[in-house]
Structures are given as C-alpha cells and as structure tokens.
C-alpha cells in the first residue's frame, strides 16, 4: 500500500530519481573526518530553533509591561510543557552558535574556502552575520535585566563612530533615545520572521553551493569521485545520523540538567532602566569582538578593529591564495591556525573577566594574535608559491 502511494507520487514528482542521484550516486571521499558533520548538526540546530520558536511566539507578548511575565509565568509555569520548549530554544541558540563556530573553524582548517568554494564561504559568512543579529534580537525579548542592559551596551557601540553619524545610528537602532516599546517591537518582528526567512534563503543557497562545488577533502586534494568515492547514502548519512544523535544527547543533557548558563539568574530580574546589573557583558558568542573593542584605548579604533576582523573573515578566500590546501599539508598555516584559535578563545574568556589593566593588555596581545593570522596568510601564500614552483607544480 505504502509502495503504491510512493509510486503514485513518484510518477508525478520524480523524487526517487532525486534520491538516487543525490544520495546514492552522489559520491564523496572516504576520509571525511568528524568535524565534517558540524554542517548537518548546524542544520539540525536551525530546525530545532525554528520549531521551538514557532510555539514560543504563540505565548510570548512583545510588550514592555507583559513580556517578562509572558515568559516567566505563562511560558515557564502556566502552559503545559512550554518550559521545555523555552529551555530548548534558549540552550538551542547557544548550541547553534557553538556548532557554527566549530563549523567555521573546521572550514578554515581544511581550507574549504578555496576555489571553487569561495562563494560557499561568502554565503556562509552572511549566514554567520545574520545569525548573530538573530541571536542579539532574540536575547532582548525576555526583557530581563541582562536582556535590557545587554542591548543598551550593544546599541551604544555605534556611538564609537565620531560625530553625529554614530549617535544617529544608535538612535535609529533603538527607535528613540532609550530602549522602549519601539525597540522591543521591532526586534521581535526581526527575530521571529524577517531574519529567519533571510537565514532560510541563505542556508538553502549555501547547501546548494556545497553540492554544486562538491565536498572538500581533508587532504586538500580533490578525489576522483568515480574511482575513490563512496555513496553518500549510507556511508555518510548513517554516520552523520549517529553523530547527530550524539549531538542531541549532549544538547538535551544541558536542556534538562544544566541550563545555568543559558538562563542566567540575573535575567530573572525584570528589566529596570534605573539599575545596571553589576556584571553586564554581551553573550559569549560576541565576547571576542567585545574584548577587541574594549582593549583598544580609542573607542573609534576599537570599533574599526572588530569590524575589520569581520571583513578579513569575509575576504579569507582572497587573502589566502596559496596553491596548497588543508592545514594537514601546510605547516606554516597550521602554526598560524593554532595562533588563531588560541587568540579567539582567549579573547572570549577575557571578555568574561573585569576590565583590569592586565586584562586590557592581554586583550591587545590576543587581538594582535587574531590579526596576525589574517595578515600572515598572504605572506605564507607567497612563500608556498615559491615552494610550489620549486617542486615543479606539485600540489602534494
């Protein structure tokens, strides 16, 4: 019976052909490592956010007087099981960003941004950027002390731009001179549908590009798919299916037993415009940028600095023009990669610490480390071109 329905659909939609070509005939390298699964985990995390978000919008109220209670009473205590959906969404946002970061650093390691995958990288960068905006706008919604003051800090950052321009941008973000109903209303609208819609489009395009360009190889050499490839299904699908189960097991451990970081206690105090909480800083996924901003004595230069990091990240495929691919084959690149991730992690952790002079100095050191990675890429590329030519054009 099921088979007959399947056949009826297939005669009209021709999907079995799609399954055959995309899943069985599609060949991938045999040596894809565990980090290659971060992409599918990010997709799963995205789906979880959408589904949990849809149900949250049924009960959340985007009004400055009732937002906090709609979350902490209606959702957490009144409607059956909504506490679970809220916890899934809060933990899910953090996990989504964590997986995206791991995915980005995986791509950097294996040089998955090189030809023909530069466009994939660029689209991915915009996914990351829009995702940061989605997370920022979402965090405001519970209207707790951290939500409110975190956004005050964020909307103050454009004032680093000197003159009236910075002030204007800040006021435009807030919709006024302070955070209020206008701000909450517009961030709600952005968060629940405009930004997710843009994300959906970007992710769809990103997936298409991954398929169109073919998956990269950890060794950096493209394989002869016909001879050395394995069918995507079941080789990769079941492997990454099992990895996703592991990811979800870790995820749900946090959801049920350790929400402490994802639902910070300070945010259970309703927003009070007249009282700043003692520890206020952006969420961990933005802390690296925040530390860069904070460490540089000039506010304007700090602003330029962290925007520069974003720009350099976007332009990565063009900064690194070496003929060699994958950190496995590039010892110089490998060393700078270590500098990169140590700096990024250190900058994030420094952001959780109070801004003492020592920490500011360390912030500068690791900011320099971060920049040194990007700036080293053209230099390493030139050196490696030399080696390439000397070896008569051998890419191994």
Partner 1 sequence: MIKVVFFTLLALIFFYIIWVNNVFAPHETYEMPMQYKKIVEDERYVKEGKQLFEQNCQACHSVRYDAVYPSAVQANPNLKALQEQYGKVLPKDVYESTFYTELSQLKESLGKVPPDLSTMYIARGKEYLFNFILEPQKVIPGTSMPPVMAGRPEDTAKIISYLRSVSEPPPSEKAKRTLMGIVTIAYLIIMGILLWVWRGKILKRMGLH
Partner 2 sequence: MEASRRDFMGLAIGGLGVVGVVGVLYPIIKTLAPSAASLAGAKVEVDISQIPEGNVRVVSWKGKPVFVVHLPANFQWNGTTKEDKNRKLLEGHNAYALIAVCTHLGCIPLWKPQGEAEYKYPVFHCPCHGGIYSPWGDNIAGPPPMPLHIPPQNLQGNKLVIGEPGFIKEQT
Return residues touching partner 2 (CB under 8 A).
51, 55, 58, 78-82, 84-85
Question: For partner 1, which residue of 15, 238, 361, 379 counts as binding (CB under 8 A)?
Answer: 238
Shortest approach of partner 1 to residue 328 CB, angstroms? Answer: 9
How many residues would you count in the chain? 396
CB-neighbour burial class of residue 45 (10 A; exposed 0-12, middle 13-18, buried 19+): buried
In the list partner 2, partner 1, none, the entry touching 80 (Cβ below 5 to 8 angstroms by class) is partner 2
Give me the torsion for CA of 298, 299, 300, 306, rounded to 10°.
110
Q: State the sign of the Cα–Cα–Cα–Cα dihedral 110, 111, 116, 122.
A: positive
In the list partner 1, partner 2, none, the entry touching 284 (Cβ below 5 to 8 angstroms by class) is partner 1
In the list partner 1, partner 2, none, the entry touching 82 (Cβ below 5 to 8 angstroms by class) is partner 2
In angstroms, the CA 222 to CA 281 distance is: 44
Question: For partner 1, which residue of 75, 160, 202, 255 counts as binding (CB under 8 A)?
Answer: 255
Nearest to 185, CA basis, from 134, 140, 135: 140
Evaluate whether 261 touches 332 at the Cβ level (below 8 Å): no
Q: Which is nearer to partner 2, 58 or 182 (CB)?
A: 58
- What does the per-residue mask of binding to partner 1 show for 313-352, with x meaning CB under 8 A? ----------------------------x---x--xx--x
Nearest to 272, CA basis, from 144, 127, 375: 144
Shortest approach of partner 1 to residue 206 CB, angstroms? Answer: 23
Question: For partner 1, which residue of 3, 163, 354, 392 counts as binding (CB under 8 A)?
Answer: 354
Shortest approach of partner 2 to residue 233 CB, angstroms? Answer: 13
* The one segment of 41-49, 132-140, 154-162, 243-251 that binds partner 1 by CB under 8 A: 243-251
Asked if 180 interacts with partner 1 (CB under 8 A), we say no
CB-neighbour burial class of residue 222 (10 A; exposed 0-12, middle 13-18, buried 19+): middle
**How many amino acids of this chain bind partner 1 (CB under 8 A)?**
48
In angstroms, the CA 92 to CA 255 distance is: 8
Asked if 59 interacts with partner 1 (CB under 8 A), we say no
In the list partner 2, partner 1, none, the entry touching 176 (Cβ below 5 to 8 angstroms by class) is none
Asked if 279 interacts with partner 1 (CB under 8 A), we say yes
Long-range contacts of 107-111 (CB under 8 A, 24+ apart): 108/316, 108/337, 108/340, 109/35, 109/326, 109/327, 109/337, 110/216, 110/217, 110/218, 110/220, 110/325, 110/326, 110/327, 110/328, 111/216, 111/220, 111/320, 111/324, 111/325, 111/326, 111/327, 111/330, 111/333
Evaluate whether 46 touches 199 at the Cβ level (below 8 Å): yes
Asked if 365 interacts with partner 1 (CB under 8 A), we say no
Asked if 72 interacts with partner 1 (CB under 8 A), we say yes
Asked if 19 interacts with partner 1 (CB under 8 A), we say no
Eight-state DSSP code of residue 311: H
Asked if 73 interacts with partner 1 (CB under 8 A), we say yes
Shortest approach of partner 1 to residue 178 CB, angstroms? Answer: 18
In the list partner 1, partner 2, none, the entry touching 55 (Cβ below 5 to 8 angstroms by class) is partner 2
In angstroms, the CA 327 to CA 109 distance is: 5
Shortest approach of partner 1 to residue 121 CB, angstroms? Answer: 21
In angstroms, the CA 294 to CA 360 distance is: 7
Binding site for partner 1 (CB under 8 A): 65-66, 68-69, 72-73, 77, 83-84, 94, 98, 102, 230-231, 234-235, 238-239, 241-243, 245-246, 248-249, 252-258, 261-262, 265-266, 268-270, 279, 284, 341, 345, 348-349, 352-354
């Amino acid at each position: 019976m099921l088979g007959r329905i399947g056949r009826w659909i297939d005669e009209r939609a021709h999907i079995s052909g799609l399954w055959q070509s995309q899943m069985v005939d599609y060949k991938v390298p045999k040596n894809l490592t565990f980090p290659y699964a971060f992409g599918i985990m990010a997709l799963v995390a995205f789906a979880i956010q959408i589904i949990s978000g849809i149900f949250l919008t049924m009960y959340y109220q985007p009004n400055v007087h009732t937002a906090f209670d709609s979350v902490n009473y209606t959702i957490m205590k009144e409607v059956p099981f909504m506490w679970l959906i809220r916890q899934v969404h809060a933990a899910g946002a953090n996990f989504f960003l964590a997986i995206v970061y791991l995915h980005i650093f995986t791509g950097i390691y294996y040089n998955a941004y090189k030809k023909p995958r530069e466009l994939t990288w660029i689209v991915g960068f915009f996914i990351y950027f829009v995702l940061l905006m989605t997370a920022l706008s979402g965090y405001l919604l519970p209207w707790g002390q951290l939500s409110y003051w975190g956004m005050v800090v964020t909307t103050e950052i454009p004032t680093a731009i000197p003159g009236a321009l910075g002030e204007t941008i800040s006021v435009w973000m807030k919709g006024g001179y302070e955070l209020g109903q206008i701000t909450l209303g517009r961030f709600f609208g952005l968060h629940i549908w405009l930004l997710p819609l843009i994300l959906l489009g970007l992710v769809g395009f990103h997936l298409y590009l991954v398929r169109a360009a073919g998956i990269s190889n950890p060794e950096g050499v493209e394989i002869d798919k016909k001879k050395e490839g394995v069918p995507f299904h079941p080789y990769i699908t079941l492997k990454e299916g099992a990895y996703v189960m592991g990811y979800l097991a870790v995820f749900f451990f946090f959801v049920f037993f350790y929400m402490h970081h994802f639902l910070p206690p300070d945010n259970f105090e309703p927003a009070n415009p007249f009282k700043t909480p003692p520890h206020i800083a952006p969420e961990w996924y933005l802390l690296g940028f925040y530390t860069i901003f904070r460490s540089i004595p000039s506010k304007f230069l700090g602003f330029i600095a962290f925007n520069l990091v974003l720009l350099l990240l976007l332009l990565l495929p063009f900064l690194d023009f070496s003929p060699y691919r994958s950190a496995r084959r590039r010892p110089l690149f490998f060393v700078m990669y270590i500098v990169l991730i140590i700096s990024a992690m250190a900058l994030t952790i420094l952001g959780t610490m109070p801004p003492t002079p020592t920490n500011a100095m360390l912030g500068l050191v690791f900011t320099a480390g971060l920049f040194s990675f990007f700036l080293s890429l053209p230099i390493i590329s030139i050196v490696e071109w030399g080696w390439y030519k000397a070896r008569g054009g051998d890419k191994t």
